[in-house]
Amino acid sequence: METLSIAKSFDGTQGVYRHRSDACQCDMTFAVFLPPQAKDGAVPVLWYLSGLTCTHQNVMDKGEYRRAAVEHGIAIICPDTSPRGQHVPNERDNWQFGHGAGFYLDATQEPYAANYRMASYIMDELPALVAANFPVDMQRQSITGHSMGGHGAITLALKNPGHFRSVSAFAPITRPGVAGWSRPAFEKYLGPDHAAWRAYDSVLLMEDGYRLPELLVDQGKADGFLDDGLRPWLLEDACRRARIPLTLNMRDGYDHSYFFISTFMADHIAWHAARLGSAASS
């Protein structure tokens, strides 16, 4: 693991790191913010999964999470959204596919299967690396994300019951297999058999019996993607039928940007902190 940068913020440490990924067969970059409580022992972890076209840098620069993370003594880990590199298959002129658009799935179709293994990277490889190099308590993990990352956070939590103590999302993509901006990517990554897509669709996972203890979602009513890709009412209906307690906050006037995310980031961190316990608790 290579350290790319270190900066002090709110008496904590914001770092950016790079390592060679076996899962994605390329170099991967990620960010870790450690609150000052980490000097005294392992702290709980909140994963933040970014959306389409983003890297760790977007939320690190615009997400405004550090003050709240220090207040609650939580480490914030921000992975990249996909494998990258000249040898990694990509569609340069398509922002909805390839670099920046990994959809947090494990691709099965060539030529993408060798590199686009973001589900395995997020669930297995990166947590092991983080646990070996940072003072974090991996028995106390939660997950959140935005848009494509909100989709990833919910589906990963559904398929790994008990792994995360809590899950939330900002404007998550719902029913990606039928949404205009994600369906073509699913076809290329997973092939024509729609049965294989169910593993990466929160609504269908709930239909198939997967459950969460509860879910927090914030969604802007002025989001330009609301009717095409997001459709939170489908998630609301799925949670109702699955009897999963859902807090869905529809925010007047807010769009899809980091102005929206940063406004409610502290609320999400506090919500997760209540379920993770403080840095000093067991």
CATH number at residue 127: 3.40.50.1820
Cα distance between residue 7 and residue 251, in whole Å: 33
The fraction of the chain above a pLDDT of 70, given in percent, is 98
Reported as a single tens digit per residue, the pLDDT across 145-164 is: 999 999 999 999 999 999 99
User: Is there a domain that residue 86 lies in?
Assistant: yes
Q: Is residue 151 part of a domain?
A: yes
Q: Choosing from 151, 182, 223, 272, which is the catalytic residue?
A: 223
Within a 13 Å sphere around the CA of 229, how many CA atoms are in the beta-carbon half? 22
pTM above 0.75, yes or no: yes
Q: Is 87 a known active-site residue?
A: no
**80: DSSP letter:** -
Q: Strands of the chain (E only): list them.
A: 2-9, 12-21, 26-34, 43-49, 75-78, 136-145, 168-170, 215-220, 246-251
**Average confidence (pLDDT) over 175-200:** 92
* pLDDT tens digits along 215-262: 999 999 999 999 988 999 999 999 999 999 999 999 999 999 999 999
Among residues 99, 256, 268, 272, the one annotated as catalytic is 256
Distance of CA 201 to the CA centre of its chain: 14
In this prediction, residue 4 carries a pLDDT of 98
- Measured distance CA(93)–CA(83) in Å, rounded: 17
* Total structural domains within the chain: 1
Choose the catalytic residue: 147, 168, 182, 202: 147
Which of 92 and 123 is assigned the larger pLDDT? Answer: 123
Q: Is residue 282 a part of any domain in this protein?
A: no
Please say if 82 is a catalytic residue: no
Residue 256 a catalytic site member: yes
Range of the domain at 224: 2-277
Distance CA 117, CA 134 (A): 24
H or E segment to which residue 260 belongs: helix 258-276
Structure confidence by residue, pLDDT tens digits, 73-84: 999 999 999 999
